[in-house]
Structure 1
Amino acid sequence: MQVLHENTNKKGAFYVMVNQNKEAEMTYTWAGTDKIIIDHTEVSDVLRGQGVGYKLVEAAVHFMRDNNVKAIPLCPFAKSVFDKTPEYADVLFKK
């Protein structure tokens, strides 16, 4: 399963396509040049129960590490993944 990424420098998303349909997506909004606000995660019934939401967060973490970006996870699902995964703490924005 491949997680794709689109980024307009104002907003962006990590997503999974199945049969040319977007079946999972985690969206974010840029907050300046070095922070993103993760605002929504959704996985369709087609992919539910396969850990796809976690894969979306993992892809975002790799992107943030590669680009020296920090996250503010406002989405409840993404926040729960960050809370359960201490090895992702390096990409969290700390005030």
Structure 2
Amino acid sequence: MADISIAKEDGPRRGRYVARVAGIDAEAELVFTHRGPGLISADHTGAPDALRGTGAAKALVDALIADARATPFRIIPICPYVRALYAKNPDWQDVMTLAPGEAP
């Protein structure tokens, strides 16, 4: 398993979670938008080829879910990658605005 660090960059309207893997000069990101009080949309998850297979993208989504439970906020899963993982993890329904498999 790769040594992955996650950071959150949050602005008034948009933000992102950033994943870096030790020894690799690249970063993956999960971009989100604030949609209202206690509500964000997970818009896009991307990882460059250098990070493929490291688990960085999944670590980003795991961080988003953990943050949503801790803060708390709810997530509109717009990103296809987030929706695909949600379909495999229906226990995330407590932080999602849709049921697993529903399109936004």
TM-score (norm 2): 0.82
Q: Which amino acid aligns with 2:53?
A: G
Number of aligned residue pairs: 95
1:6 aligns with 2:18: no
Over 2 Å off, 4+ runs? 17-22
Distance in structure 1 (CA, Å) of the matches to 2:25 and 2:38:
30
1:46 aligns with 2:45: no
Match of 1:17 in 2: 20
Distance in structure 2 (CA, Å) of the matches to 1:30 and 1:23:
22
Q: CA deviation at 1:22?
A: 4.8
- What are the equivalent positions in structure 2 for 1:15-94 lying under 5 Å apart? 15-17=18-20, 22-94=26-98
Distance in structure 1 (CA, Å) of the matches to 2:50 and 2:95:
30
Output the aligned Cα RMSD.
1.9
Q: Which amino acid aligns with 1:39?
A: D
TM-score (norm 1): 0.89
Of structures 1 and 2, the larger Rg is shown by 2
- Percentage of matched positions with identical amino acids: 31
Q: CA deviation at 1:10?
A: 1.1
Cα separation, partners in 2 of 1:94 and 1:86, compared to 1, 3 Å: closer
- Assess if the C-alpha contact under 8 Å between 1:15 and 1:22 holds in 2: no
Structure 2 residues without counterparts, runs of 5 or longer: 100-104
Q: Which amino acid aligns with 2:73?
A: V
Structure 1 residues without counterparts, runs of 5 or longer: none
